[in-house]
Structure 1
C-alpha cells in the first residue's frame, strides 16, 4: 500500500507540474525558459505540499515520509525542468533532427556549417535568446552597443573555463577522431579581433 501511495503522489505531482507548465506557456510572459520551468516545479511542490495535508490518500504519511516525498518532488521537478523544455529549447541536437525532418530526411554533410551559420542562427534567434538569458541572469550588461561581463559573469566564466580544461574528456570523439580540441576551443581564435569595445 505504501508503494502505491508513493506512485500516486508522484503521478499527482507530475500532473500538477504539467498543468502549471501548460498554463505558463499559454498565458504568461516568459523571460527565460529554464527559470520559468523551475518556477513551475516550485509552484507544483507547493500545491503538492498542500494536498499532502488535505487529501485522504496522502494524509496518512508520517512527517518524515511527507518531507521525503516533497524532496523527491523537488528533485523530479528540477530534472524535468532541465531535461524537457530547457533541452528542447536549447539543444542543437534536437535542431539537427528537426531540420533533417523539415528537409525531407536528408541533408548533405558538407552543408551543415552553412545551415548552422545561416538558418540556425536566424530561425532560433540564437544570439537574441542567449543575450536575453545572460542579461536576466545578471552575468552581462548591455551598455549602448557594447556587451560587458559583470563580476558574476566573470566568476562563472572562470569556473566554466577551469571545468572545461580540467574536467571534460581529453579524448572525445569528433567526426571519427578522438581529440582534446574542445577542452581549449579558443586556441585558434583571432589574436586581434576587430569587435572589441573601445
Structure 2
C-alpha cells in the first residue's frame, strides 16, 4: 500500500519568484512590508517591473492594513499566506495614484470618468487584479427617479460589489447619503 502526504506539498518561494524579484524585495527593510509585497507578488503573479512600481508608489503604506496594529497586520498576512484570503484592509487603499490618466489641472468628473475608462486596464492594476469591471453609469430607478452610479466593480477575492462614485473637491455629507442610497439599491437588486 502506498502512503500519501497528509499535508499539501507546496513549491518553494524560489520557484514562484525570480532572482530579480528577490533583489527588489531585499530593498524593503521592514519585515511586515516585505511579507505583504511577497505574498501579493506570489498571488497576483506580478512581474519584476510591477513589483518595483508598487514598492516605489508605496502601495503597502497606502493600504488600510498598514495603519492597523501590528498584531492585526501579522494575522491578516498569515491568513493571506495560508488561505489566500483577502480582507478589506489588504484590498482598499487610502488614496490611489491616478497620474497615468494625464488629466490637466482643471477637469470635470466626466473627464475623470472617460480617462478611467480609456485607461481601465491600468486602473484595475492600480486598484488590484481581483477587480472585475461591471458597469459605467449604472442606471438605477429609485422611487421613480433615475440615478446613475459612476463605476461598478466586482471583487472576486472579497466576493463583493464595489461601487465608485467620483466626486471632485471636498467631501460633503450629501455624498455619503447618496452612496448609502446606491448601496441599498445594489444590495436589493444586484447581490446574488
What TM-score, normalized by structure 1, do the two folds share? 0.29
Compare the two structures and name the one with the higher helix fraction.
1
Compare the two structures and name the one with the higher strand fraction.
2
Larger Rg: 1
Structure with the greater relative contact order (CA < 8 A, sep ≥ 6): 1 or 2?
1
